[in-house]
Structure 1
Amino acid sequence: MTAELILASASPARLATLRSAGVEPEVIVSDVDESAAVDRAEAGLGAPLRTDDVALLLARAKCEAVAAGTDADALVLGCDSVLEFDGDTFGKPADASEAVARWQRMRGNCGTLHTGHWLVDARDESTGATFGVVASTVVHFADLTDAEIEAYVATGEPLKVAGAFTIDGLGGPYVRRIEGDHHNVVGLSLPVLRDMLGEVGVTFDQLRD
């Protein structure tokens, strides 16, 4: 018996990760205002959110928004990634100058990439489950020269991704090593997804066509 999956994310890397594992999800992108969602949560808390909490908050917001707007017989998965570096939370940089400044701080150092995963069981025979998991991977960055940083930022890739880097794209040469799940740095941990599916009685192979 197969199970349908809806991916509540616009990330090409997350879609490619699922496809590489034999899963062809339906993609529905939410209209969640991420900055506003974080601001509301921090206002209610009266303090800044931890980086891993930001990842889970945004994954949940995206997932629940999409689940509420569909009547599909499917599981809905939302994800969000943010980088924790030296006490700061890095999402996508606002512009090239910010990306350059970040890389000048990150080079030769390490940070922790947190990816929030939120799953809503919206199947007709639903368990009613809605829950989330954060996966964290330590990323060690190469000691780039200023020229290398400028050249990488000029490609435009760092402006599109959390933390201003990729491990599966043009940024791959600038990641020396990681501690944890490679897929998590790409933006979706397949082992975490497998465990989450198990909580609602679905095996990973049931997502495959």
Structure 2
Amino acid sequence: MRFVLASASPARLSVLRSAGIDPLVRVSGVDEDAVAAGLTDPSPAELVTALAVAKAEAVVPAVAAEVPDAVIVGCDSMLSSPDGEVVGKPGTPEAAAERWRRAAGRSGELITGHAIVLLRGGTAVARTSGHLGTTVRFSEPTDAELEAYIATGEPLHVAGGFTLEGFGGWFVEGVDGDPSSVLGISLPLTRKLLAGLGVSVVDLWTAPKPE
């Protein structure tokens, strides 16, 4: 049984490797805007979960042919800002700067959606999904610090315009909830979803198991 990560996120890959799993990475290439456009007034949790499902489902045919027995995990995250706006990746320096100025000194909720498809013998035999919210407390970077952070390019391509494990970690006061979800993949939620499909996460570990 192989763990397949349907994401190009280096942070998610790093979290899994640090937790004993060396997944196959198969990027979905899902058009996120198209998925979102197909939903009718979704809640933030519904939106990230739908995107996670789309990503996992998109790689099923290729993975089924390559690895007949696998769990495919899709993920998506968005930040519900202090102003109640749901935001994904800023995309531009201007958008990143504006989001940080509005979030500085306040708290937002990072919402992470997960979806898992279980393959047996090349056939999808079960599916599950779920979401998790984690509160992130932002500090107040100076104008010079914010300018330097945005110049790294890091916040442009991550949900909410910040990271916990990179340069952005200097400007996060704290996290209330699951830290791994802020990195892009919630280990506790993934374990529970896998258990619901009859798969124990310890059986997927590639690191030596204790005697």
Alpha-carbon distance between aligned partners in 1 of 2:62 and 2:84, rounded to the nearest angstrom: 36
Preserved contact between residue 117 and residue 124 of structure 2 (Cα < 8 Å): no
Q: Which residue matches 2:76?
A: 80
Q: Which residue matches 2:45?
A: 52
Q: Match for 2:79: what amino acid?
A: L
Q: Match for 1:158: what amino acid?
A: P
Alpha-carbon distance between aligned partners in 1 of 2:99 and 2:85, rounded to the nearest angstrom: 11
Selected match of 2:153 from 149, 153, 156: 156
Q: Which residue matches 2:195?
A: 198
Q: Which runs of 4+ in 1 moved over 3 A?
A: none
Query: Compared with structure 1, are the counterparts of its residues 127 and 66 closer, same or farther at alpha carbon in structure 2 (3 Å cutoff)?
Result: closer
Selected match of 1:131 from 105, 128, 133: 128
Preserved contact between residue 9 and residue 27 of structure 1 (Cα < 8 Å): yes
> Runs of 5+ in structure 2 lacking a partner?
207-211
> Runs of 5+ in structure 1 lacking a partner?
none
Alpha-carbon distance between aligned partners in 2 of 1:100 and 1:55, rounded to the nearest angstrom: 23
Alpha-carbon distance between aligned partners in 2 of 1:51 and 1:152, rounded to the nearest angstrom: 27
Give CA-to-partner distance per residue, 1:151-206, whole Å, 9 cap, x none: 11011000120000001111111110111000000000111111111111111111
Q: Which residue matches 1:95?
A: 92
Query: 1:88 Cα shift?
Result: 0.9
**Any idea what SS the aligned residue of 2:46 has?**
helix
Give CA-to-partner distance per residue, 1:117-165, whole Å, 9 cap, x none: 1000112287822111101100000012222111110110001200000
**Any idea what SS the aligned residue of 1:132 has?**
strand
Report the TM-score when normalising by structure 1: 0.93
> How many pairs were matched up?
202
Selected match of 2:139 from 117, 131, 142: 142
CA RMSD of aligned residues (A): 1.4
Query: 1:50 Cα shift?
Result: 1.8
**Any idea what SS the aligned residue of 2:48 has?**
helix
Report the TM-score when normalising by structure 2: 0.92
Residues 1:116 and 2:113 aligned together: yes
Question: How many percent of aligned residue pairs carry the same amino acid?
Answer: 45
Preserved contact between residue 183 and residue 190 of structure 1 (Cα < 8 Å): yes
Q: Which residue matches 1:61?
A: 54
